[in-house]
Amino acid sequence: MRTALEQILIQIWAGHRPRALTAPLYLFYFLLIPFSVLYSSLVWGRRWLDQVGLLRCRRLSGTKVVSVGNITIGGTGKSPLVAGLAATFLEQNVPVAVVSRGYGALKRGSGPLLVSDGSGPLAAPDKAGDEPVMIAEAVPVPVIVSRDRYVGARLARDRYDAAVVILDDGFQHLGFARDLNIVLLEAADPFGNGWTLPAGKLREPLSALKAADMFIFVHRGGEIEPVPDRLKGLLRAFSNNAMIIDGLLGIRGVRRFGERDEQDLSGMAGSNVILVSGIGAPHYLEEEITAAGMTVVEHLAYRDHHRYDERDVERIGARFLASGAELLVTTAKDETKLIRAGLRDVVEEAWVAEVSFESRFLEHIVSVLA
């Protein structure tokens, strides 16, 4: 489960707080600021070295490279966008592959790892990372994990004739030229309190946004709320030629554990459910499930990339029975790990919420590279 420190940091990092911070939290916040200044200086220096050409920048010939990333920690929908873009390219008969760093892997080697050759996962999450396995489950395309994204992309081109390589979480990976640099921003709270880690949720200072070619404001809740002009103006100040578009991310359907056939979410309206998640922004899952007419009796929100074990499954099973819930709902990111930990032996009515972007939105992005 999320620790007390994580809960405190979430309150401090928020750009829009429902209530003011208490005096002890303010003190803790100010104590973190010097560390943020130091961190900002280091990552800014790295960007500067890249911009003036002191870092080697490699370009992959014969293949278009699309980077999908963000500037904050937490869930902004990177993996659903990567999976959606890969599926859209595939529908248009464009050979495509996904290259990821494989964040969260525990047993990864130093060289490239083939997570999928297009026929499904060939590696477990503990070796490949959560998101690469999830993408390999969702889309029949090659998925490669590599610390050096250039090496992974070259493998995708040479072995699988990939005409397009999508870099999952590639914005901070410098030294590899890309044809389209996409940055996702949470529309409701794009920059938090404006500080970098650890006083804020920014992974880099805002000046890094000058490297972006496209900004995508990610909206939740079933509709797109207008983004203030002043916020768009700020982005223009950093990258005047970048495109700014809106994307709607949400639960498009549900399916049983281990199955691929989706059902409409409305069929579960009126049900009492227990949620289990180990994702960056669990509150959005709860909000959408509630908006669909279900009653969330309990949400077991583990930390992002949590590794479920038998003790977790026993606890989840016990809470499911005690809560009186009719269904258990989790995410595609958690599914494989929960299956491997034995959840299907404990909870029969286990379902996966499939989160994705609208198809017309994905088609629009793909058309930019046409």
Same domain flag for 117 and 225: yes
Same domain flag for 97 and 237: yes
pLDDT at 1: 63
3-state SS, the chain, equals: CCCHHHHHHHHHHCCCCCCCCCHHHHHHHHHHHHHHHHHHHHHHHHHHHHHCCCCCCECCCCCEEEEEEECECCCCCHHHHHHHHHHHHHHCCCCEEEEECCCCCCCCCCCCEEEEECCCECCCHHHHCHHHHHHHHHCCCEEEECCCHHHHHHHHHHHHCCCEEEEECCCCCCCECCCEEEEEEECCCCCCCCCECCCCCECCCHHHHHHCCEEEEEECCCCCCCCCHHHHHHHHHHCCCCEEEEEEEEEEEEEECCCCCCECHHHHCCCEEEEEECCCCHHHHHHHHHHCCCEEEEEEECCCCCCCCHHHHHHHHHHHHHHCCCEEEEEHHHHHHHHHHCHHHCCCCEEEEEEEECHHHHHHHHHHCC
Residue 151 lies in a domain: yes
The yes-or-no verdict on residue 94 having pLDDT over 90 is: yes
pLDDT > 90 in the chain, percent: 78
pLDDT at 225: 87
CATH of the domain at 179: 3.40.50.300
Same domain flag for 158 and 298: no
Residue 19 lies in a domain: no
Same domain flag for 151 and 296: no
Residue 22 lies in a domain: no
Residue 231 lies in a domain: yes
Residue 16 lies in a domain: no
| pLDDT tens-digit map of 329-348 | 999 999 999 999 999 999 99
Residue 281 lies in a domain: yes
| pLDDT tens-digit map of 130-148 | 999 999 999 999 999 999 9
Same domain flag for 146 and 212: yes
pLDDT at 203: 97
Same domain flag for 76 and 203: yes
Range scoring the smallest mean pLDDT among 139-148, 227-236, 258-267, 323-332:
258-267
> What predicted TM-score, i.e. pTM, was given to this entire model?
0.93
pLDDT at 300: 96
Same domain flag for 234 and 257: no
Same domain flag for 108 and 200: yes
Same domain flag for 93 and 206: yes
CATH of the domain at 271: 3.40.50.2300
Same domain flag for 288 and 340: yes
CB distance 328 to 352 below 8 Å:
no
Two tokens at 354? 């499939």
Same domain flag for 136 and 275: no
| Preceding peptide of 228 cis, ω within 30° | no
pLDDT at 5: 84
| pLDDT tens-digit map of 154-204 | 999 999 999 999 999 999 999 899 999 999 999 999 999 999 999 999 999
Two tokens at 158? 């040479």
Same domain flag for 236 and 285: no
Residue 236 lies in a domain: yes
In sequence order, what are the beta bridge partners of 215?
Answer: 183, 244
Residue 122 lies in a domain: yes
Range scoring the smallest mean pLDDT among 33-37, 70-74, 152-156:
70-74
The yes-or-no verdict on residue 105 having pLDDT over 80 is: no
pLDDT at 89: 97
Domains contained in the chain, number? 2
Domain carrying residue 329: 252-355
